[in-house]
Chains A and B, each alone.
Chain A
Amino acid sequence: MRYILKRLIMSVITLFLIIAATFFLMHLVPGGPFLGDKNLPPNILHNLNAKYGLNRPLYLQFFTYLHDVMMGNLGVSVKQQGQSITGMIATYFPVSMRLGLVAIVFAVVMGTIMGIGSALKNGKGLDHTIMVLATIGTSIPSFVVATVSMIIFGVQLKWLPTYGLDTIQSYILPGFALSFFPLSFIARLMRSSMLDVIHQDYIKTARAKGLSEATVIIKHAMRNAIQPVITYLGTLMAGVLTGSFVIEQVFSIPGLGRTFVDSIQNLDYPLIMGTTIFYAALLILMYLLVDVIYVLVDPRIKLSK
């Protein structure tokens, strides 16, 4: 319990620092959010600043913002009139989440299977093929996977849709592009940890007991070999999340990632801040969860440590 409490406090501190950093960085930008528009008359600019509370002392604005964030109110977008940011996140995030979950599940399942297969056939043809693929897979940027697979399967062969997320088929290309890197990474991770485990004494014991090969692999070897993959889950989620910025752009998916990138290009500061804080909170929570799960799965690590 103490461990979880300690991690929780660290997470809250990190989140606070992120909110503070984002807030003050945003206000460093000269001009503010309305300067990009056509030259507004000074009195209108003044009124706009007054309306959004931008003319008050910075530290007061910060405390107001902090209070609002804790209340779940992330402010309103300054570019898309009257749209509350919490509302926008509620609209767009589920789209990203569905795609992200598809990618994560695919990456973990396929990566684990490939890693185990590779480890069991260590040194044989299958092992080499999987490892060559995985090495290549970890060095191709996701936007390359996305665009090239889009050209091949969407534009040339016309097998799969190239935009939106309306049908089941339309999940295939973006999901594949999003999971390509983590899949390769997990396959490598799983292979090396499986190779470690397979030579342990308790595996020999299990075999000596006369258990079937499948039981030995699934019940004894895999359960222990999967630990590094669980540790990687937090990073994986961060990767899928940032990957979604690019993938949603390429496939015109109306998710939060694309909204975030658009808000950056429009310099919609409240939206940038709101989305960043949401993403950061989400990721920090995920890291925390992964740590807790890791401790629960591995009885060798004591919670009280």
Chain B
Amino acid sequence: MDSAKITDELFVPATKEEREGVQSMREPSSYWHDAYKRFTKNKIAVVSFWFIIFIIILAVVGPMISPFKYNQQIAGSEFIAPFHNWAHPLGTDNFGRDEFVRLMFGARISLAIGIVASLMVVIIGVIYGSISGYFGGWVDAIMMRIVEIISSIPALLIIIILSVVISAPLRAYLDAHPTYTALRSIGGSLLCIFITFALLYWVDMARMVRGQILSVKTEEYVNAAKALGAKPSRIIKKHLLPNSMGVIIVTATLNIPTAIFTEAYLSFIGLGVSPPMCSLGSLANDALEGIYSYAYLLILPSVIISLIILAFYLVGDALRNALDPRMKSK
């Protein structure tokens, strides 16, 4: 190469026009945009998603605009079968309470339990898991041993024991402090369910988050980003967080049906919400006595609870496929 031909002009930064020539024509597609496109491709998941939205609206708004209250007993109109009386489209129960409004109210309680419990799991699990994952070493070893022990305890058994033990002192405490109106309006039994959930179900979330952070931390592209001089804030924002976010969202979504499932189960063995409050599980449990003559009281809440759980599972599954970047190629 003739050294005379290398001039300083060759090293002048490219002009704007020159740079445009090498930029890709495609609009940059963000992680969330890609995920959204993948999610909407799954028709079943989209239908499930709108079903959940519909149920949430019904559960929130329904009891407010209904002419009846969920605990309003109407003497003389007990055990009306569904589709027989347009005042009570889904019939009434043994106290003459409108079944439609009770179902909506029960769905409200069940959904609230699912969503609140899942949120608490996210908070505890993400903090615990990320501390364990970031620090590593002996901190990680101790924290994971604790997780191991908690997860080897049969969860439902401990939830049952905890709800037996906590509910009485909790109620006594609430009665002694009438000023805690917000807590009192939630009710002792509901609070108790939240506490027991938060105490046990964060373990899986903590494990997931830890694993995710550990694996992403050592990924080559994180190393590459570091080598290229990316600041830690950029690595966290662009690599660690989006990659863990998918796992967090999916686990949280799949936790909602688990929580609803467990609440229904607890209500069914008489440990759930206390009457006259009702959840879908307690409605099914109450209907068990009249199963021979009034099967609709059992079938309605059972079908709704199964549909809600199914919808959440389907959405969670679709989210997993949509949010996991490694699935992109498939």
- Which residue numbers of A lie inside 8 Å of B, CB to CB? 10-11, 13-14, 17-18, 21-22, 25-26, 28-31, 135-136, 138-141, 143-144, 147-148, 150-151, 155, 238, 241-242, 245-246, 249-250, 261, 264-265, 267, 272, 276, 279-280, 283-284, 287
Contacts known (A30-B168, A139-B313); A144 close to B154, Cβ less than 8 A: no
Contact A272–B164 (Cβ < 8 Å): yes
- Mind listing 20 A-B residue pairs with CB under 8 Å? A14-B152, A17-B149, A22-B161, A26-B165, A28-B169, A136-B310, A138-B313, A139-B257, A140-B306, A141-B265, A144-B284, A144-B302, A144-B305, A241-B154, A249-B269, A250-B288, A267-B164, A276-B161, A279-B157, A280-B157
| Residues on B with beta carbons closer than 8 Å to the beta carbon of A238 | 154, 156
The distance from the CB of A118 to the nearest CB of chain B, in whole angstroms, is: 17
Please indicate the chain A residues that have their CB under 8 angstroms from the CB of B314 in the complex.
135
Closest to B167 in A: A29
Nearest neighbor of B145 in chain A, beta-carbon distance = A10
Q: Is the interface of A mostly helix, strand, loop or mixed?
A: helix
**A25 touching B162 in the complex, CB below 8 Å, given contacts A139-B310, A279-B154:** yes
Residues of the A chain whose Cβ atoms lie less than 8 Å from the Cβ of B14: none
Known: A10-B152, A280-B157. Contact between A245 and B269, CB under 8 A? yes
Residues of A within 8 A of B152 (CB): 10-11, 14, 284, 287
Chain B residues 146-164 with CB under 8 Å of chain A are 148-149, 152-154, 156-158, 160-162, 164
Q: Which residues of B contact A (CB under 8 A)?
A: 148-149, 152-154, 156-158, 160-162, 164-165, 168-169, 172, 257, 261, 264-265, 268-271, 281, 284-285, 288, 291-292, 295, 298-299, 302-303, 305-306, 309-310, 313-314
> What's the nearest-Cβ distance from chain B to residue A297, in Å?
21
Measured between alpha carbons, how far is A261 from B156 in the docked complex, in Å? 12
Contact B284 A143, beta carbon cutoff 8 Å:
yes
Instruction: Determine if B153 and A264 form an interchain contact, defined as CB atoms under 8 angstroms apart.
Output: no
Residues of B within 8 A of A139 (CB): 257, 306, 309-310, 313
Q: Are A135 and B310 in contact (CB under 8 A)?
A: yes
Q: What's the least CB distance linking B43 to chain A, in Å?
A: 14
A264 pairs with B270, CB closer than 8 A: yes
Chain A residues whose CB sits within 8 angstroms of the CB of B313 once the complex forms: 135, 138-139
